[in-house]
Each structure stands twice: as structure tokens, then as C-alpha cells.
Structure 1
Amino acid sequence: MLGASIKKLFFGQRSLLNRRRYRHHNSGSGPILMDNVQRRRALAQFVDKAEVTVFDRQSSRTHFRWGPWVAGGQMLMWINFADFYWRYSMDKDEETGELHLSPAWKRACTAGIALVAGLAVGGGVLHYISRTMARMQIIDGGQMVRLETYKISGSGTRTKVVPIAGMFSRDKLYTGEGPNGVSRAKTSQYSIYASRKSSFAYIMSRSGYFRDPKAFDILFHRAVAPGKK
């Protein structure tokens, strides 16, 4: 009986040794190791393939050709506002109640704010187009990723190749909702970064084609950018 109790104490399911192993597994290294194993398994499907399309927006390559017109229209509108403020901005004399042209510095500041607003809105439209992804392919046996984004002209796309190891997203793609399992109620967009040094994310449409959303999350979903703790 004494021998059986000692054996259970040191080697049973709730033994001291197993408790130590459990604590080590949950100390941080266990989940990280499992993540690395899952990523290696997910990448294995690309080893013998030259290129695999993992995302396609499935829209025309001239989908955003309205963009330059919208940006130009915004700029023209705000330029007119700036011209109006410069020419006709008035102040009221507190003593006489008469209106008179505002001082030049005041009119210049107001007109300048209008110009900055026009640049911000128009530039924002073009920037959104340039960060919107048309297609994403894993190439070179799973080592690199080819990103195809729209040109700011709205006609055609441009291509950039980045290492797959540096790509990450803090957003989770698979939600289990919608016909493809990637729908989200509050937004139709999914954001992904080309590297931890990227200031701006690339934008994907959740209504597009995703080859394998669950594998996509295994490869790219991270709470912290690669190389950061």
C-alpha cells in the first residue's frame, strides 16, 4: 500500500511531476510552440507549388476608376471654399454693427484650413485605393507573398513581393458567420500588414474569395507583430 501511494504521488495524473509539466506548458512556451507547429503544417501545403492564390477580391481591375474623379471633385470643392473665404469672409464691428472684410491673416488661415481639408479628403480616397488588395498569392514554395493592389489611377494593379514570415494581422479572419465563414456585422473589411515596420495596413474585402480562412488565421493572425514581445 505504501509503495502504491508513493507511485501515485510521483507518477499519477495529478502527481507532482505532471503538475510541473502542466505549469511549464502553460507558462508561455507551450502555446507559442504549438503556434509554430501549426504554421509549419499550414505552410506544408505550399512547399511543392510555385504559386497559390489565397485571396481574390473577384472584381474588375478597373474597380476604382471612379477614385481620381472623386478625389479631384473634393479638391475642386474645397478650393472653391478657400477662395470664397479669402474673398468674402467678413467681421462685424461691435460698435457700429457694420460688416467689413476680415483681416488678411484671418482670411488666409481660414482658406488654408479649407485647402488642408481638401487635400486630406482627396488624398484619403487615393490612399484607400492604393491599400486595397485585389489578389494575394503565396509563392516560392511558401516563402514569399505576392500582393496585388489597385493603382491610384483606378485602372490596373501593381505588384509587391514580401516575405511571408513578416506578414501579420491583429484582426481574425474566420468568424464562422456568413456563407464563407468570414462575415462580420460591423465591417466588411479585413486588415493585414506586410511587416512589423509597416505604418499602414492592406485592406481586403470579406466578400471576396478566401481559399482557406482557418489556415489563413494560422499563418497570419498574431496579437503582437513578429519580432516584438
Structure 2
Amino acid sequence: MQSGAVARRKALAQFRDRGEVVVYDRGLKDTHYSWGPWVAAGQMLMWINFADFYWRYTMDKDEDTGELTPAPLWKRACISGIALAAGASIGAGLLHFVTRSVARMRVVDNGATVVLETYRLSGRGTRAARFPIAALYSRDTLHTGSGPNGVSKPGLPQYSIYAGSGSYAYIMNRDGAFHSPKTFDTLFHRDQAPQGAAKK
């Protein structure tokens, strides 16, 4: 435990007397996810059409006569509601992914603070969130020794980092440019959230 703390102090030393260090850059335009809201809206429209279809045409078959009759209101409402819920869940999940995707990560204040730039809900531009560097952690290891940058992981193109226990992950793409993958692991790799880390 003590050796880990010493390793972190040594890793932090590289940021001293440097106003800002970009430690991750996705290398994409800040409008990269501008398609996100359109896709979310388009698929929601599709599910609304499904719901309308189920509401209008859900039928029950009479076992005795074989005749088809409109299903009861409660049944049509349930099926249509499931379709609407599916569309809303998919759309919300897509937009959530956009807003948790990291465009850039900067270390400022001589290594005391991390600035995470994530894409806006609209997919146009970014917004910045600041965290004490000690509050961030990842259960995953970044450095794998594979791929051109040593961070490739077959089947897992994303690297997740958290800003506190119970928080949603911030997502970095392993195809982005990392300043030093081994330093990332030294500073952030932990099995659990640091004590006192704030939720966000």
C-alpha cells in the first residue's frame, strides 16, 4: 500500500511547474457526436410508429369461432407502452454515452486537478468538469502492451474512469492519444473508489 502511494507521488512529480498537461486526446472534432440527437430522435420516431401500430392492430383470436377482434384496451396499452419505453431507453442510453464520452483530459494545478472535457448533449462542443486527481479511479488497467500505443484490448475498445463511488463512468476510447498509459495505471488503477471521492 505504501509502495503504491510512493509510486503515485513520483508519477505526480512530472506535472509540477507545468500549468497544464494534456494526458488524453480523442483527436476528433468537437462536433463528432452531432449525429447523436438525430439518431436518438429517429429511432424514437420508429418506436412511436410501432406503438401506434400495436395500439391499432393488436388482435385477439376467439378460440371457439376463430374470429379476430381488437384486443382489450389494457392489453394494447401495455404493448404500446413497452414499445415506447424501449425507444426512450435506447435514445437515453445513446445520449448518455455521448455526454460521458471524453474528448480530452488535462492535468492542471501542478498535478492537483483533472479537467475532463466531455461532449455536450447536442453533440456540438464540449463541457468541462474539474475533479481532484485523487478522486478519480479506474478498475480497469489501461496499459496492455498490445497495439501501436500499448493500450489495445480485443473486444473492449473503451477505457472507463470514475469520479467517485456510485458515479457513472467517463469513457475514453483506446484509439485516442494517451500521454503515458503506465502513468495512468499508477495514478488511477484501484479496485475501489478512493475514500472521500465525491459522486457525480
TM-score (norm 1): 0.84
Give the structure 2 partner of residue 171 of structure 1: 140
Judged with a 3 Å threshold, the aligned counterparts in structure 2 of structure 1 residues 139 and 180 are, in CA distance, closer, same or farther, namely same
Out of 12, 16, 28, the position equivalent to 1:43 is: 12
> Counterparts of 1:184-199 in structure 2 under 5 Å?
184-198=153-167
CA shift for structure 1 position 152: 1.5
Specify the code of the residue in structure 1 equivalent to 2:81. Answer: G
CA contact (8 A) 1:90 1:102 kept: yes
Out of 130, 133, 141, the position equivalent to 1:161 is: 130
Give the structure 2 partner of residue 67 of structure 1: 36
Out of 180, 185, 198, the position equivalent to 1:212 is: 180
Matched position secondary structure for 1:68: helix
Please give the alpha-carbon distance, in whole angstroms, between the structure 2 residues aligned to 1:83 and 1:61: 37
Give the structure 2 partner of residue 138 of structure 1: 107
CA shift for structure 1 position 197: 4.1
Q: Which has the higher contact order (CA 8 A, sep 6+)?
A: 2
CA contact (8 A) 1:56 1:134 kept: yes
Partner deviation per Cα, 1:128-180 (whole Å, 9 max, x = no partner): 00000000001111111000000111111111111111100000000000111
Q: CA-atom RMSD, angstroms?
A: 0.9
Please give the alpha-carbon distance, in whole angstroms, between the structure 1 residues aligned to 2:49 and 2:166: 39
1:223 and 2:191 are equivalent in the alignment: yes
Out of 117, 138, 152, the position equivalent to 1:183 is: 152
Bigger helix fraction: 1
Specify the code of the residue in structure 2 equivalent to 1:206. Answer: R
Give structure 1 regions of 4+ aligned residues with deviation exceeding 6 angstroms: none
CA contact (8 A) 1:139 1:146 kept: yes
Partner deviation per Cα, 1:42-69 (whole Å, 9 max, x = no partner): 0011121111100000011110111011
| Structure 1 gap ranges (5+) | 1-31
Aligned residues: 196
Please give the alpha-carbon distance, in whole angstroms, between the structure 1 residues aligned to 2:153 and 2:47: 35
Give the structure 2 partner of residue 127 of structure 1: 96
| Structure 2 gap ranges (5+) | none
Specify the code of the residue in structure 2 equivalent to 1:170. Answer: R
CA shift for structure 1 position 195: 1.9
Give the structure 1 partner of residue 170 of structure 2: 202
Matched position secondary structure for 2:15: coil
Give the structure 1 partner of residue 87 of structure 2: 118
Matched position secondary structure for 2:104: strand
Give the structure 2 partner of residue 17 of structure 1: none
TM-score (norm 2): 0.96
Please give the alpha-carbon distance, in whole angstroms, between the structure 2 residues aligned to 1:170 and 1:214: 14
CA shift for structure 1 position 196: 2.3
Out of 21, 40, 63, the position equivalent to 1:52 is: 21
